[in-house]
Every structure is written in structure tokens, then in C-alpha cells.
A and B are shown apart, each in its own frame.
Chain A
Amino acid sequence: MKLTQISVFLENRKGRLYDVCSLLGKNNINIRALTIAETESFGVLRIVVDKSDLAVKTLKANGFVANLTDVIAVEVDDKPGGLAGILKIFADSDINVEYMYGFVEKFSDNALLVFRFEDTDKAQKILTDKGLKVVTRKEIEGL
């Protein structure tokens, strides 16, 4: 199942990341996973949150530049070679990973990873076919 990732443009200014996090906190929105893509002069914050609709509305209302992207969160065996195993499946199925990052927490013994695929639908189908556990929207909301 696809999840919604929110990308936020962050200009190179002190306290800008704090501004985003504190705004989400005040609105009782919980960040489940995050990563920052940075360049020398700006950054893009990528987050998966429990209440994505509210988060986007709040961010935009407060002047942030935000955009939505489909991602998939996959459970991976938390042991050596776990990630390699799943990447092999993608490689064998000719599925291109654009970027990935880890969850802040996990809700079983498995690790949770967020993937952004070049072709999300195709990736989703392979994951289902192979019987891999993906995180549902409901699970994210109640995590």
C-alpha cells in the first residue's frame, strides 16, 4: 500500500528545521520517518507522518513549500543481509529505487524502511507477489 510522503523545501536559514518540527508538534502530528536531502545552499526535508492531510494543510497555511510523493514502507528482517535480500528482489525485478531511509521506530521485530521507487505501482505489485509485508496507512496512523 502506498503511503504519502511530504517533502518540505528548507532554505538555508538557522532554525528552519526546528520551525517545521515545532509546527507539527503543536498540531499533535507525529513524525514516523524522516530524512533530509541537502545541498550546499538548501535542503529538502522528507517525512512520513501519522496525519499527512493535516500536516500538509498546516505546513502550507504557515507558508512552507510542501509537496506530496507516493512511497512504500517495507518490513525488512532486522539481521545481517536483511536489506540486501530485499534489494536483490528489486534488482532481479528491474525495479529502480530512487532513494530510501529508515523509520524512527518499529512495531515488530523487523526493521521498517521507506522506499521511493521510480515506478511505485510496479514495485507494489512485486512486493505483494513476493508476500512481503508493507505498512498500511492505518498502521501509520495508529503507530
Chain B
Amino acid sequence: MRGIPTVLITVSPEVSAQMRPPRALYPKGFGVGNSLGRPGLRELQRQVLRDALRLLTENTRPGQFVTREYPDYGEQYEPPRVRAKGE
């Protein structure tokens, strides 16, 4: 089977990293359930999707997570963390 290039948009980079995705965009501070931004903010959603797709043509190294900031999103959230053993 040939491979299909993929890019992940994640709001939980630490959690997603455990599955070793090929390349990923983390829109900094976006809440869970808001991978592309908030409802109705279509230009913000377009911006996030364009940035994610651009990672396919940039020279990302396998497994790289790229963080981008989007001030239009507004209030920021802390991403979910992965608990270490024993925590």
C-alpha cells in the first residue's frame, strides 16, 4: 500500500505526540473541541487549515509539531497534559 501524506491539527499536543503523528499543527491555546477555532469564525478557520496544509510542503521533520498563535481566537486554554506514571 502506498502511504498517504497526512497533517494533524491538534489542541492536545502532548496527548497526540504519544501516537507519533507524521506532522502536526498546534493552534496555541485553542480549547478542546475547537481544533479549527470558534464557531462562525470562518476566516480564522481558513487560516488554521491553510497553515496545517502548508506543513505538507514545508520541510518538516518526521514527528514535528509546529505551534502557531492566532490572536483572533480570544481567550486561551491550557492543553490537556499526559500524566507520568505514579502521578
A binds B: no
